[in-house]
Amino acid sequence: MPPKRQIRVGSQWMYARDAQRALEEAIRVAEEERGQHEHHVPFLRKYVFSTDHKWIGIQYAITALTFLLLGFSMMLIMRWQLAFPGRSMMDIPLIGSLLVKFLGAANAPGGVMLPEFYNQLGAMHGTVMVFLAIVPLAVGAFGNYVVPLQIGAPDMAFPKLNMMSYWMYLPGGLIMLSSFFIPGGAANSGWTSYPPLSVIATDGQTVWILGMVLLITSSLLGSVNFIVTIFQLRAKGLTFMRMPFFVWAQLVTSFLLLLAFPPLEAAAILQFMDRVAGTSFFMPSGLVVSGTPLANAGGGNPLLWQHLFWFLAHPEVYVLILPGMGIIAEVIANNTRKPLWGYKSLVGAGVFLGFMSFVVWAHHMFMTGMGTVISAFFQTTTMIISIPSVVILTALIISLWGASIRFTVPMLFALAFLPMFGIGGLTGLPLGLAASDIHLHDTYYVIGHFHYVVAPGTIFAMFAGIYYWFPKATGRLMNEKLGKLHFWASLIFINGVFSPMFLQGLMGVSRRLYDGGAQYAHAKPVLHTNVFISASAWLLLLAQVPFIVNFFYSMFKGKRAGANHWNATTIEWAATTSPPLGHGNFVHMPVVYRGPYEYSVPGYDAADFLPQTIPDSEPLTPTEAGGGMLAAGAVAQKEL
């Protein structure tokens, strides 16, 4: 179909498509010229202590993905013990003897892991996954790479703080991991570190606290930076209600990090004092450990820790999910080729979700005997917070209605996210009600519930994001076939891992058992599912091989991608392919003329997408449907 519309470029009229090609060519030439003038940036400055948000984003991505694999591996080792309690890991085919040698006789004498080591792996799996893998990936990586591009900014508002944020995160993570090598091993009181257990635990817990303080500082620097960047560096014309939903999600997330993390920092300081200076903030009077009364002053309150911890950790749940929702919204709009349904509701729900997330924390504590009044309050707020989540999910599902969907790899992950997150969310309702929580609390049901939210929920969203923005970051495409293999295998096995856990939990199997429940009569009927779960988990690891291969192969050898490979509307696609490091992002500072999801605009026949940065100067014939859009554009131009 020949292009019909003409636009004015400088003093000339030309077809939109020609203009686009010419602009791309001009940008390429400008890039080349710029490359010739480029001065040598020292290696350390460019690749290690970089202040460029794009490279910092990539640093975050690679580090966080490594931690993700590491946290996953810890669980894979634990799953052997759960599936075959007491059986030597020497029996594992191929890697058995190597693994046993790696773990050493101190942790797994004769190839059977010690209960203490199992506890260390459990605590570190949770910590690594939440604080070192998912949040840095969702916020540090995607936030850093995409947000400044999507709002048309040259970089983050504080590039040096941005660098510092990464360089707090990496040492924080390494310090935390180093605790495996000190006497007594790593922290072993669960990722929640409940006192008094955590206060009398081995030295690994102190290292855990030090690591957490670095991570908290890192996310504090990051969140201030994101909020200032989004408020201050939005391109001309990019009003708040024209921001992509992803940017909104990152903005709300940053506020959550900013305001929820400090109480955990306070709690970490207090626990540190309890452990090192002998205070009793969390230590009640009259504690007897192994037959010996503790020498501390007493009078403290273990519940205080739980309040401070969950005051962070509940907003943290939304830190985990909101950026994921943002990515899914971008991918769905792009692959349905139509505007998101209910953009305003999405934004409203996201902001409301952020507010509500600060008043639901004690639904993690129904079993602590807080009293029925407090329980009633928190179960009410918990039911209320489910509403915005449902609004967001519903809007995303309705967005699919009547679309001619492009089943690209990112879209497959996005489509899978919807029901998977749905399962995770709906199974949370019985946990939010005090009465049913009494039965389900601390069982595998809980594990199943939040892993459905985070693993096939957030992690699938992260995969969608990686496949979606890979061409922008590297200039190359990821392989479609390997991507589909990765998707289908992951989808099948991840359900194999988590769905039987609901069954186990409903039978009352506790989540913290070293033998997976073998010594409990009530667990007998569901004990066999442990083998199935473990097998699924190991196969899930295999399912990641195509992704890892694809990631590195495509980075160097993938098919080259254009600047706007997906024909998307948002501003990051107006930058060049793989914008060069150490420079501003855009050849021209972009100016924004419309909302983020102008796909298949009626009356605009040149293409099925109308980027935010293309001026309205083009003489469109206002059709009945397009009139509104044009009028809006005209008003917008006046505002500028």
Partner 1 sequence: MTAHVDLHAVPGHDAHHEIEIPYTVHPRPDTGVYNGKLGIWLFLASEVMLFGALFSTLILLRTSSNHWPRGWEELNIPLATLNTFILIGSSVTVILAWANLRLGQLKKAKIFLALTLLCGLGFMIIKSIEYASKFQHHHYPSTNNFFATYFVMTGLHGLHVLGGMIVFAYLLLTADKWYAKHRDQFTNRVEVTGLYWHFVDLVWIFLFPTLYLL
**Contacts of partner 1 in 462-491 (CB under 8 A):** none
Which of 416, 520, 521, 509 is closest to 459 using CA atoms? Answer: 416
The CA distance from 574 to 612, in Å, is: 9
CA dihedral 516→310→116→275, nearest 10 degrees, is: -160
Question: Binding partner 1 by CB under 8 A: which of 1, 44, 94, 277?
Answer: 277
- Segment interacting with partner 1, rule: CB under 8 A, options 64-72, 191-199, 252-260, 443-451: 252-260
Per-position x/- string for 569-598, each x denoting binding to partner 1 as judged by CB under 8 A, each - no binding? -------------xxx--xx----------
28 touching partner 1, by CB under 8 A: no
Residues whose CB is less than 8 angstroms from the CB of residue 590 and which lie 6 or more positions away in sequence, other chains included: 152, 235, 236, 571, 574, 612, 613
228 touching partner 1, by CB under 8 A: yes
Check if the beta carbon of residue 13 is closer than 8 Å to that of residue 22: no
Sign of CA dihedral 554, 556, 559, 563: positive
- Residue 280 CB, shortest distance to partner 1, in Å, is 6
The CA distance from 33 to 301, in Å, is: 66
- Segment interacting with partner 1, rule: CB under 8 A, options 167-175, 301-309, 436-444, 499-507: 301-309
40/557 with CB nearer partner 1: 40
The CA distance from 520 to 508, in Å, is: 10
Check if the beta carbon of residue 510 is closer than 8 Å to that of residue 443: yes
Could you report how far apart the first and last alpha carbons of the chain are, in Å? Answer: 34
- Residue 591 CB, shortest distance to partner 1, in Å, is 12
- Residue 370 CB, shortest distance to partner 1, in Å, is 12
28/524 with CB nearer partner 1: 28
Phi, psi at 428, each rounded to 5°: -80, -25
Number of residues that bind partner 1 (CB under 8 A): 64
- Segment interacting with partner 1, rule: CB under 8 A, options 244-252, 266-274, 339-347, 412-420: 266-274
DSSP 41: P
The CA distance from 107 to 74, in Å, is: 13
Instruction: Name the amino acid, one letter, at 386.
Output: S
- Residue 30 CB, shortest distance to partner 1, in Å, is 6
495 touching partner 1, by CB under 8 A: no
DSSP 503: H
The CA distance from 486 to 431, in Å, is: 32
Cis peptide before 148 (omega within 30 of 0): no
- Residue 459 CB, shortest distance to partner 1, in Å, is 28
Question: Binding partner 1 by CB under 8 A: which of 2, 10, 371, 402?
Answer: 10
Question: Binding partner 1 by CB under 8 A: which of 299, 615, 622, 628?
Answer: 299
- Segment interacting with partner 1, rule: CB under 8 A, options 81-89, 197-205, 259-267, 415-423: 259-267
18/91 with CB nearer partner 1: 18
- Segment interacting with partner 1, rule: CB under 8 A, options 230-238, 389-397, 505-513, 542-550: 230-238
The CA distance from 410 to 403, in Å, is: 16
Give SS3 for 179. Answer: helix
Phi, psi at 443, each rounded to 5°: -105, 180
376 touching partner 1, by CB under 8 A: no
104/299 with CB nearer partner 1: 299
The CA distance from 457 to 454, in Å, is: 5
Question: Binding partner 1 by CB under 8 A: which of 127, 155, 536, 606?
Answer: 155
- Residue 519 CB, shortest distance to partner 1, in Å, is 37
311 touching partner 1, by CB under 8 A: yes
As a whole number of angstroms, the longest Cα–Cα distance in the chain is 89
228/405 with CB nearer partner 1: 228
636 touching partner 1, by CB under 8 A: no
Question: Binding partner 1 by CB under 8 A: which of 55, 117, 208, 281?
Answer: 281
- Residue 582 CB, shortest distance to partner 1, in Å, is 6
232 touching partner 1, by CB under 8 A: yes
| Location of structure tokens 């503790």 | 294
Kindly write down the DSSP assignment for every residue of 541-595, as one continuous string.
HHHHHHHHHHHHHHHHHSPB--TTTT---SGGGGSPSSPPTTS-S-SS--B--S-
205/296 with CB nearer partner 1: 296
26 touching partner 1, by CB under 8 A: yes
DSSP 620: -
- Residue 366 CB, shortest distance to partner 1, in Å, is 19
210 touching partner 1, by CB under 8 A: no
21 touching partner 1, by CB under 8 A: yes
40 touching partner 1, by CB under 8 A: yes
Phi, psi at 273, each rounded to 5°: -65, -40
- Segment interacting with partner 1, rule: CB under 8 A, options 154-162, 376-384, 397-405, 562-570: 154-162
The CA distance from 395 to 592, in Å, is: 25
297 touching partner 1, by CB under 8 A: yes
The CA distance from 632 to 214, in Å, is: 47
Per-position x/- string for 156-185, each x denoting binding to partner 1 as judged by CB under 8 A, each - no binding? -xxx--------------------------
Check if the beta carbon of residue 200 is closer than 8 Å to that of residue 235: no
Which residues are at the interface with partner 1 (CB under 8 A)?
Answer: 9-10, 12, 14, 18-19, 21-23, 25-26, 30, 34, 37-41, 153-155, 157-159, 220, 223-225, 227-228, 231-233, 258-263, 265-267, 269-270, 273, 277-281, 296-297, 299-301, 304, 307-308, 311, 582-584, 587-588
